[in-house]
Chain A
């Protein structure tokens, strides 16, 4: 009974925090191209870091409340795509947080890492926009993407075999473990590392 309003509430929070994280990250990255952008970079870096961390625990709550508020979750292409884009958004946001956590606030000052963080933010922003658009299309029949002259085919989806998805999931866990346990040592960047 309360699943739908609760889902709307959580979706509002998760979309807001994710969008704030992405836009703040992009601004922090772009500020490095301006000679007097240090102060802006520090503000937006903090905003991005905090809002990205806030968005992560809200993601599974949004998925669970969405699953409870739908008749046949995952049973049609639109709701299936919601799961896929939630996964992609979470992946990009987690990458953003990990990068910021491991390299510190000066991650934006390094040319290569700054670009990588910026691309993660752009990827997450695109995925969040698509996610919100699919939700809007399902509940209201309208979406943000109606503004563009074509509607991407979200009523079709790439469905992998369930066992292949399980294999991919296990492969992902293995890859993450190898990366963190056996990967090179990471040190926080100082301002002279740029």
Chain B
């Protein structure tokens, strides 16, 4: 009977747990996923519901083959779960399999969270709108292709425990062959990943087929970009004066390369801040360690000499300047008292005198008088 009750309790707990875990309210983490997560709760007609979110794609509809391409989408949604989590997919089809952009010749260089996934999870700000950017490399061959954005989210309150989903309109992109004089970064140039804290030195940009460069920058989390000063050093070599950053600040910047025929906005690049390199050396450390040993020793040995008791005794002892003729004999009462002779101090240097520390005076040696 007891074991039967135990089994029933376990089954009841499991059933209750299933009821409490509709979809994945805490998200699944970034990853590579196909349309509708291959039959997830958001894709199941018995659980899902169409999202009221607006999905707006703000990207170029034309790109050169094998070049960097910035895919930007703005999602506005007032209907979210209490943790405001939103999952967004970048897809090249809506078949339910083979939907990853890489299955259609695209390559993800950077996702909105800094990784290389086609599915990312983000917390939507209180404004209800979020901007997501994927940096992609276009297919190597010219073609006409399209990209989609799908979103998954919850709602609060969500009495029916619905899993919401939304899908954007397809975004058509014409991938065209690269012209010969296309302005862009030099093949041997790589963007610096970090800059030392407080460093105001400009970053060097190497370009090709470029007659003009414009650089925009903003701090991570900002939405307003600023233009910075760019200097031409020599042909296709430029200095961009980005402001110094401190702590763990991340600066993002975009280079626009142009010539008489083309103006190309390169993808936004990210540059972190790091602590300055340590400039200590082994010999410097050895020398500084030894110096501190000797300095500490010198200070303390000097303090020992200053604080030694003989030094103070020397100051107080004026025996050498006493004139023996001024020394008075003790009175009879002093001599016959037991206390008085005990307190007199004899010094070898003055055999016929005794020092009275109470009266602070020299007295004649009484035994000498008797002789």
Contact for A87 among B293, B303, B308, CB less than 8 A? B293
Give B313 Cβ to nearest chain A Cβ, in Å: 9
- A144 in the interface, Cβ–Cβ < 8 Å? no
Which of B128-136, B276-284, B318-326 touches A?
B276-284
- The answer to whether B283 touches A116, judged by C-beta atoms less than 8 angstroms apart, is no
Q: Is chain A's interface secondary structure helix, strand, loop, or mixed overall? A: helix
- The answer to whether B309 touches A110, judged by C-beta atoms less than 8 angstroms apart, is yes
- The answer to whether B293 touches A157, judged by C-beta atoms less than 8 angstroms apart, is no
- The answer to whether B294 touches A172, judged by C-beta atoms less than 8 angstroms apart, is yes
> Given A116-B300, A179-B298, are A160 and B290 also a contact pair (CB < 8 Å)?
no
- The answer to whether B285 touches A84, judged by C-beta atoms less than 8 angstroms apart, is yes
Q: Tell me the chain A residues, 75-92 only, with Cβ under 8 Å from chain B.
A: 75-77, 79-80, 83-84, 86-88, 90-92
In the complex, chain A residues whose CB is within 8 Å of the CB of B294 = 91, 169, 171-173, 175-176
Give B77 Cβ to nearest chain A Cβ, in Å: 43
- The answer to whether A83 touches B293, judged by C-beta atoms less than 8 angstroms apart, is no
In the complex, chain A residues whose CB is within 8 Å of the CB of B289 = 63, 83-84, 86-87
- The answer to whether B282 touches A77, judged by C-beta atoms less than 8 angstroms apart, is no
- Counted as pairs of residues, one from A and one from B, with CB atoms less than 8 Å apart, the total is 152
Please measure, in the bound complex, the distance between the C-alpha atom of A189 and the C-alpha atom of B311, giving whole angstroms.
12
Interface size on A, as a range, is 35 or more
Give B248 Cβ to nearest chain A Cβ, in Å: 15
In the complex, chain B residues whose CB is within 8 Å of the CB of A176 = 294, 297-298, 301
In the complex, chain A residues whose CB is within 8 Å of the CB of B308 = 103, 110, 113, 184, 186
Contact for A75 among B278, B298, B302, CB less than 8 A? B278
A-facing mask of B115-144, CB < 8 A → 1, else 0?
000000000000000000000000000000
Closest residue of A by beta carbon distance from B286: A83
Give B286 Cβ to nearest chain A Cβ, in Å: 6
- The answer to whether A83 touches B288, judged by C-beta atoms less than 8 angstroms apart, is yes
**Pairs across A and B, CB under 8 Å, 5 listed:** A86-B289, A87-B288, A120-B300, A162-B287, A176-B301
Nearest 8 A/B pairs, CB to CB: A172-B294, A91-B296, A87-B289, A175-B298, A168-B291, A74-B285, A95-B300, A83-B285
Binding site for B on A (CB under 8 A): 63, 67, 73-77, 79-80, 83-84, 86-88, 90-92, 94-95, 98-99, 102-103, 110, 112-113, 116, 120, 157, 159-162, 165-166, 168-169, 171-173, 175-176, 179-180, 183-187, 189, 193-194
